[in-house]
Amino acid sequence: MTPPLYDGVIVVEPYRYLVPPPGGRGGPLSASATEALDHGASPLTAIATGEQPPQAQIFATPGALTLPAGTSSIRLSIAPIPAEGQPADGHIVGNVYRILVTNQNGVRITAPAAQKVTVVLRGPGSLATATIERFTPAGGWQAIETQDAGFGSTFLAVVTEFGDFALVVAGPGPTAVISAPPSVSAAPQASTAGASAGPTVPGVAASASPTGSGGPTGGLPIGPIGGAVVVVLAAAGLVALRARHPRHPTRYRGARPRGERKGR
């Protein structure tokens, strides 16, 4: 069967900055969710911030996460935070996002590289190239192998650990960003599945709509990276669309398959 064609146009809203530059938009969104285990293993996981399309996302296939002993549920959170310095190989564009995955006791969860757990970040403007980097207090900003997700300044990387991530572009930035991050607990706040409130970060707006959790990802496309395959960003951010239309996850507002009659 041929997939239906959609008449709707995907609207890309302006980038939301934690610290807006002149003329920039503020109010970036956070996301969080609590997932139950699926027969003792991690479930299919897909959460995203509430912008259109999302500015930060996590994807993990069933059983992809390495669970600490005693794990009964998984907590995920995404929140924009102030940058701590600049990487040596370039400058940060857009926000730094603290992306955490822990169990119910706040113990951090990891993932084997072979499982292709993916972080996706969207940057401002039209970026021809960028690299996702992760910050650690011991090693500073470190580059991760990055792939263009094929949709408007959006990039993805396979990760084995979680923490603070940002998009980095080579060369000096317009201004230096040197500020200490706020005190944010290593464990995300308790929430119910699909909850929208992320960790409390001063000056960060909470998402007005719930974000997707461990449900189907709507047939996300597959793309190559490092000789393997990873789940990549679906056009228009399927996770955010599912959150906005929870009863009809495959529909996009204003889009209707050709040939479908109104009122059906």
Express each pLDDT in 48-64 by its tens digit.
999 999 999 999 999 99
Q: Is the pLDDT of residue 212 over 80?
A: no
2: in domain = no
Residue-level pLDDT at 145 = 97
36: in domain = yes
Q: What is the dihedral of CA 58, 132, 84, 196, to 10 degrees?
A: -20
Element (H, E) at 143: strand 140-143
260: in domain = no
251: in domain = no
141: in domain = yes
Count CB atoms within 10 A of the CB of residue 192: 10
Number of separate domains in the chain = 1
Average pLDDT over the chain, rounded to whole? Answer: 75
DSSP assignment letter at 63: T
> How many whole angstroms separate alpha carbon 29 and alpha carbon 244?
14
Residue 165: closest CA among 120, 109, 202, 199: 120
> How many whole angstroms separate alpha carbon 134 and alpha carbon 87?
10
261: in domain = no
**Which distant-in-sequence residues (6+ apart) come within 8 Å of 230 by Cβ?**
59, 116, 118, 147, 156, 158, 222, 223
Q: What are the tokens at 135?
A: 């910050």
Read off the pTM.
0.67
Residue-level pLDDT at 75 = 97
Q: Exposed (0-12), middle (13-18) or buried (19+): which is 133, by Cβ within 10 Å?
A: buried
56: in domain = yes
Residue-level pLDDT at 8 = 58
59: in domain = yes
Full domain range(s) for residue 197: 31-243
Express each pLDDT in 86-134 by its tens digit.
999 999 999 999 999 999 999 999 999 999 999 999 999 999 999 999 9
In the sheet that 56-60 helps form, which strands lie side by side, from edge to edge? 45-48, 56-60, 118-122, 154-158, 146-148
- 3-state secondary structure at position 108: strand
Supply the CATH number for residue 58's domain. Answer: 2.60.220
Residue-level pLDDT at 12 = 87
Express each pLDDT in 153-188 by its tens digit.
999 999 999 999 999 999 887 754 444 444 444 444
Residue-level pLDDT at 9 = 67
**Which distant-in-sequence residues (6+ apart) come within 8 Å of 210 by Cβ?**
194, 195, 196, 243, 246
